[in-house]
């Protein structure tokens, strides 16, 4: 597991982006749970954000690709609108403990 940040750095309904070991990823906190994904839209393989750490739509209820507006469910990464509907973001195993938020770059979740 690789350390990303302190728990306090990721507020409810917020997102953060990271580059770790040459990989771009993002984390989102929803309903007190942290979700981690590779920062790559399945449509074109481009990073999702247009400004740093901005991965959510205006309602903070969906992850949004800034390039083509695709919308993804936060809890599963499934695309529900846009050019890659039916595809999903690549999820990463993550955990949170007293030290902060950790991600496993070697273990992908299904």
Q: What size, in residues, is the chain?
A: 110
Domains delineated in the chain: 2-104 (2.102.10.10)
pLDDT value of residue 109 = 57
At 106, is the pLDDT very low, low, confident or very high (cuts 50, 70, 90)? confident
**In 3-state terms, what secondary structure has residue 63?**
strand
At 107, is the pLDDT very low, low, confident or very high (cuts 50, 70, 90)? low
By C-alpha distance, which of 90, 42, 85, 79 is closest to 57? Answer: 79
Residues facing 62 on adjacent strands: 73
Residue 63 to residue 97: CA distance in whole angstroms: 24
pLDDT value of residue 27 = 98
pLDDT digits (tens, 9 = 90+) for 57-97: 999 999 999 999 999 999 999 999 999 999 999 999 999 99
């Amino acid at each position: 597991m690789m350390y990303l940040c302190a728990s306090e750095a990721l507020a409810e309904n917020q997102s953060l982006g990271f580059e770790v070991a040459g990989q771009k990823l993002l984390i989102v906190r929803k309903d007190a749970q942290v979700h981690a994904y590779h920062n790559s839209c399945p449509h074109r393989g481009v990073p999702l954000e247009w400004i740093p750490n901005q991965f959510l739509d205006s309602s903070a209820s969906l992850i949004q690709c800034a390039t083509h507006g695709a919308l993804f469910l936060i809890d599963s990464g499934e695309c529900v609108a846009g050019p890659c509907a039916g595809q999903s973001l690549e999820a990463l195993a993550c955990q949170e403990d007293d030290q902060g938020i950790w991600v496993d770059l070697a273990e992908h979740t299904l």
